[in-house]
Amino acid sequence: MKSTTAFSGIDLSQLQTRMLINGELRNASSGSTFTLHDPATGQEIARVPQATNADVDAAVQAARTALQNVSWREMLPAARERLLQKLADLLERHADELAKLETLNQGMLLGVAQAVDVGASVQWLRYMAGWATKIHGDSIDISFPMPPGTKYQAIVRRQPVGVVGAIVPWNFPLLMAIWKIAPALACGCTVVLKPASDTPLTALRFAELALEAGFPPGVLNVIVGSGSTAGAALVQHPDVNKITLTGSTEVGVWIGQQCANTVKRVALELGGKSPVIVLDDCDPAVAAAGASAAIFFNQGQVCTAGSRLYVQKKQFERVVESVADTARNAVLGSGFDPATQIGPLVSQRQRENVLRFIDTGVKEGAQLVAGGTAADRDGYFVQPTVFANTTGRPLTLTREEVFGPVLIAQPYDDLEEVVREANNTVYGLAASVWTSNISKALRVAERLDAGTVWINSHNVVDPNMPFGGFKQSGIGREHGRSAIEAYTECKSICIAY
Ligand code: NAP
Ligand code: MG
């Protein structure tokens, strides 16, 4: 079989692996690098820089200077819009190359890379470009009585929050970065992006395209380095005004604590343990197809993955057996092979994490219905796995985020019980409800502790629809007007006349 690298047609010697700092592509000042692997084969694909604290500082200083530079500070909103549109054009022109790069580096199916990771990135850039010219404040009448006879009028402006440190995970590397970069730039902020160590290649190529688009130097910087060093240095840097993280709750808690020290603004999109709730009237075939897609999409490496399935008792076996069939028959392989349905996990480490969760499920007495092992091949594959918990006892799998293709299914009797079970988690990112009874659907949706509730669908996101978590799934909302509010500060200018 041809290696994934050969499949991709990517010339590894031509990869853009340098960081973008102050409009220049650079290696780490220390010269140190780390190695990336193709998740489908385990083969080495590239060496990328490992940013030092000095590199982080240079990137932040460049972003700070760019913020004050007239070429950015005074740029008309319409010109910012045009720049973002130009960047979207460049992404679109290089979509095929970027999608292949993502499949090579992350392992995702090429179709998913094309439609979601790159396709949606273009869509988000265009949508947020439109916001650049639509940011507005308010004018307020004031009741302050002194000195007598004086009138006051306040103008409320929305101004860029400043230098934004954006830290993103490896599940949809380019899209997660664009979710932050596009609104931040639309608002006139400057950005230092740190992609996940395992998946920096599309961000690095994107950085080169941003240079080509003509953003002033320092407006967008991309550094690569480990979370515990470069990431932490960015979080603790006094010249960063806001940190926006998409990542695990554990890292989010630490970042939140650090930001509190200097009251740095912080937005956190964190983990999830999203329930898929099938009501008793739902066609079992529709429910099973929906539940399978909700958990197995992108190998379950989705923050909103439908990792807990609740089915009313009388349909439980039928739905779970059908999801298990999908799991058993799934074709595993390279994301470049059009026949593949389940690709590899992102890394050896992630495969081990997922296998450990599967072991724990078995040890705690969950019933293994499908999958449960690594695949017998090179690369970081895990069989799509389905567990049933018919006793309803508390399990690690119902509580902790796996971030892999592992489902735990549980039967329920009535709506009160399923709402209680669905909310019995520290997370609150998303949920879905499957039924043709819209009245029940809305009543359940109202009571779920989740930032997004889908009805008869799962994992649908849109640049115009707020997205984020309740409880320990995060703080703040991305997309739409919420994103514009997130990257601006409100300033009241009060005029006496
Ligand atoms: P992670 O370990 O939290 O890492 C996320 C990012 O934070 C990476 O760039 C990481 O760098 C960096 N990081 C780690 N420690 C840091 C520190 N001390 N200071 C600053 N940065 C640090 O998460 P992951 O394993 O990459 O991704 C999976 C998680 O992301 C899951 O929990 C998933 O639910 C969540 N997620 C949430 C959403 C959402 O929108 N809510 C979307 C996607 C994923 P390194 O790569 O170098 O470790
Ligand atoms: Mg991690």
Domain CATH for 362 = 3.40.309.10
In a domain, 291, yes or no: yes
Q: Could you report the per-residue pLDDT of 417-436, keeping only the tens digit for each?
A: 999 999 999 999 999 999 99
Nearest CA to ligand 1 atom 26: 169
- Report the candidate in 221, 174, 185 with the shortest Cα–Cα distance to residue 55: 221
Residues 155 and 118 occupy one common structural domain:
yes
Task: Specify whether 247 is located in the same domain as 374.
Answer: no
Same structural domain for residues 287 and 207?
A: no
Q: Indicate if the pLDDT at residue 342 is higher than 80.
A: yes
Residue having the nearest C-alpha atom to atom 14 of ligand 1: 227
Check pocket membership of 272 for ligand 1, CB cut-off 6 A. Answer: yes
Tell whether 36 and 158 lie within a shared domain. Answer: yes
With a 6 A CB cut-off, is 271 part of the ligand 1 pocket?
Answer: yes
- Both 253 and 145 in one domain: the answer is yes
394 Cα to the center of ligand 2, angstroms: 25
Dihedral pair phi/psi, residue 320, rounded to 5°: -65, -40
Task: Assess if residue 468 is contained within a domain.
Answer: no
* pLDDT of 345: 98
> Any idea what the CATH number is for the domain that residue 65 is in?
3.40.605.10
CA 486 vs CA 125, 335, 350, 482: distances in Å = 16, 35, 31, 6
62 CB within 6 A, ligand 1: no
Would you say the CB of residue 227 lies under 6 angstroms from ligand 1? yes
Q: How many CA atoms lie within 13 A of 380 on its CB side?
A: 26
**Predicted confidence (pLDDT) per residue in 167-222, tens digit:** 999 999 999 999 999 999 999 999 999 999 999 999 999 999 999 999 999 999 99
Number of alpha helices (DSSP H) and beta strands (DSSP E) in the chain: 18, 20
Same domain, 265 and 284: no
CA-nearest residue for atom 8, ligand 1, is 196
Q: For the CA atoms of the chain, what is the radius of gyration?
A: 24
Q: Is there a single domain that holds both residue 136 and residue 259?
A: yes
Q: Are residues 261 and 325 in the same domain?
A: no
Q: How many residues does the structure list for the chain?
A: 497
Is the residue at 308 inside a domain?
yes
Closest CA to 420 of 291, 286, 314, 308: 308
Question: Is 82 part of a structural domain of the chain?
Answer: yes
pLDDT at 29 over 90: yes
Residue nearest to atom 43 of ligand 1 (CA): 303
Question: Which atom of ligand 1 sits closest to the CA of residue 199?
Answer: 46
Residue 135 forms part of a structural domain:
yes
Domain tally, the chain? 2
Residue 407 and residue 358 in contact, taking contact as beta carbons nearer than 8 Å: no
Percentage with pLDDT > 70 across the chain: 100
HSE on the CB side for 338, CA within 13 Å?
A: 0
Chain centroid, CA 394 distance in Å? 28
Strand 265-269 to 242-246 pairing: parallel
The whole-number pLDDT of residue 435 equals 98
Q: What is the per-residue pLDDT across 218-275, written as a single tens digit (0 to 9) for each?
A: 999 999 999 999 999 999 999 999 999 999 999 999 999 999 999 999 999 999 999 9
The boundaries of the domain holding residue 224 are 4-270+473-496
One domain for residues 343 and 247: no
* C-alpha to C-alpha distance for 427 and 453, rounded to whole angstroms: 13
Give the separation between CA 457 and CA 291, rounded to whole angstroms.
9
Cα of 230 vs centre of ligand 1, distance in Å, is 13
Does residue 401 line the site of ligand 1, with CB under 6 A? yes
Output the CA 73–ligand 1 centroid distance in Å.
Answer: 31
- The ligand placed nearest to the CA atom of residue 233 is 1
For ligand 1, is residue 232 a contact (CB within 6 Å)?
Answer: yes
Catalytic positions: 269, 303
Task: For ligand 1, atom 34, name the residue with the nearest CA.
Answer: 271
For residues 231 and 354, membership in a common domain is answered with: no
In-domain check, residue 467: no
267 lines ligand 1 (CB under 6 A): no
Whether residue 21 is found in the same domain as residue 89: yes
Question: How many other C-beta atoms can be found within 10 angstroms of the C-beta atom of residue 449?
Answer: 18
Query: Look-up: residue for tokens 């990257």?
Result: 487
Beta bridge partners of 34: 48
CA–CA dist 444, 294 (Å, integer): 19
| 213 occurs within a structural domain | yes
Claim to verify: residue 127 and residue 148 sit in the same structural domain: yes
